[in-house]
Amino acid sequence: MNPDLLPNDEHRHLEFVMDRLRRKRPDVTGEVICETVDRVHHRFDGCRVRDFVPLLVERRAEGELAAPQPDSPAL
């Protein structure tokens, strides 16, 4: 683990990720964004190299949030 990116820093970066996603996706509730980021973040549990985890989480969460949801009404 990079000593410059401590777990508290990683969580702080994830807060920034959620803020950016809220601005990019105002149509998605904050709760859904938080749940998505949390679920995606846990996919990286056990990874030794943590430097890019917030970036990877943001990209994957953004992709999931952009995908049409099966229970969403078609427009």
Q: How far apart are CA 28 and CA 53, in angstroms?
A: 22
Q: What is the pLDDT of residues 29-41, one digit of tens each?
A: 999 999 999 999 9
Tell me how long the chain is: 75
Tens digit of pLDDT for each residue in 16-70? 999 999 999 999 999 999 999 999 999 999 999 889 999 999 999 999 999 876 6
Number of helical H runs and strand E runs in the chain? 3, 0
Per-residue confidence band for 74, with pLDDT thresholds at 50, 70 and 90: very low
Structural contact between residues 57 and 37, judged by C-beta atoms closer than 8 angstroms: yes
